[in-house]
Copies of this chain bind each other. A is one copy, B any other.
Amino acid sequence: MAKQKRETFNDFGLGEKSSSVGYRALNKDGSFNIEKINIPFFERLNFFHSLVTMKWSHFFLFVLLVYLVVNIIFASIYSFIGVEKLTGTKGISALDQFMEAFFFSAQTITTLGYGRIAPLGLSANIVAAIESLLGLLFFALATGLLYGRFSKPISKIKYSEKAVIAPYLKINGFMFRIVNPQRNQLLDVEINVSVSMKRKGTNLRNFHILQLEREKVRFFPSLWTVVHPINDKSPLFGLSEADYFKKDFEFIAMLKAFDESSGQMVYSRSSYKPNEIEWGQKFIYAAKRSKGKTFIDVSKINETSKVVLN
């Protein structure tokens, strides 16, 4: 019984009670149409994760802001101690002196240390010694963050914009295509496709895992047409295009692979709604051979041609 359950219900934690017609659990880009609210601040907070995943523009702005603020703080400390404790400072007005302290601070925290301005006496020297230590730790952290940002495994797997219902052997199949447009090699690629549908007369949704022609490939150097044969065991068996809309189908594809270049697992997901499924179309073969080499035309991933269904 447990086994049967797992095949017909698999809610991925998406919850069964979410179901007005037209609802989409998974967006096209693989993000979830779900938001968590009322999370206590400290449980939600993950400093490293935020800094690694925020946009580049935000990240640089954040670094610049921290740099500015920290230098203002230290400039204030040097001003408080007395700018005369920094040899070589020029400027008579208070603002000029503060700016000299500010630039001295910047030269210290980056360990630049031109030396035109240099600390003199105990207090200024102690502050400068601490600031330079802080600077090194600060940039050590920046190094880690930049490495984290760049090395995080990103799968840019591309899904065909539309899925099709096309002939497969003596029956029909639900098919879509995927390609890895990058040069990195994906290995041990596993794909899993489910369909979620409105339960008749209720507000609930059922989930079914779809049997695939092939669920795993060892390499993935070219285009892969993922096929679910619509045989008599398929939850799609005997259904018309109108039924797909009536049951408000959502096809959810999930891919998992080992990325040889980063040495890490990458995940990818996408979904298809009934209006993104073309009936009686098949995908066009996108490979050609020339001089003993195979060329895959990635731009043809979405190209289909008309076909008569079985």
Contact = CB atoms under 8 A, between A and B. Distances in A.
A82 interface: no
A257 to B, nearest CB: 11
Given A32-B221, A136-B110, A6 B214 contact: yes
Given A15-B287, A152-B263, A192-B218, 20 more contacts: A5-B214, A6-B214, A13-B217, A13-B224, A15-B222, A23-B292, A33-B294, A35-B296, A38-B299, A43-B182, A48-B150, A50-B183, A90-B120, A107-B132, A112-B128, A114-B114, A114-B115, A114-B118, A136-B139, A185-B267
B261 A49 contact: yes
A35 B295 contact: yes
A64 B32 contact: no
A258 interface: yes
Interface residues of A, number: 125
A44 to B, nearest CB: 5
A154 interface: yes
A284 interface: no
Contacts of A260: 267
A63 interface: yes
Closest 5 CB pairs of A and B: A144-B147, A115-B115, A38-B299, A140-B143, A116-B118
A298 B34 contact: no
Looking at chain A's contact residues, the main secondary structure is: mixed
Interface string A125-165: 10011001101110111111111101111101010000000
A244 interface: no
Interface in A70-95: 71, 87, 90
A53 B219 CA distance: 19
A43 B132 contact: no
A142 B136 contact: yes
A46 interface: yes
Given A44-B181, A299-B39, A187 B146 contact: no
A5 B213 contact: yes
29 contacts: A6-B214, A10-B217, A12-B218, A14-B221, A15-B287, A18-B289, A33-B294, A37-B295, A37-B297, A38-B298, A43-B158, A46-B156, A46-B183, A49-B183, A52-B261, A53-B183, A53-B184, A103-B119, A103-B125, A106-B129, A110-B111, A114-B115, A115-B116, A143-B147, A148-B151, A152-B262, A188-B256, A258-B267, A262-B263
Interface in A1-50: 2, 5-6, 10-15, 17-18, 20, 22-25, 32-40, 43-44, 46-50
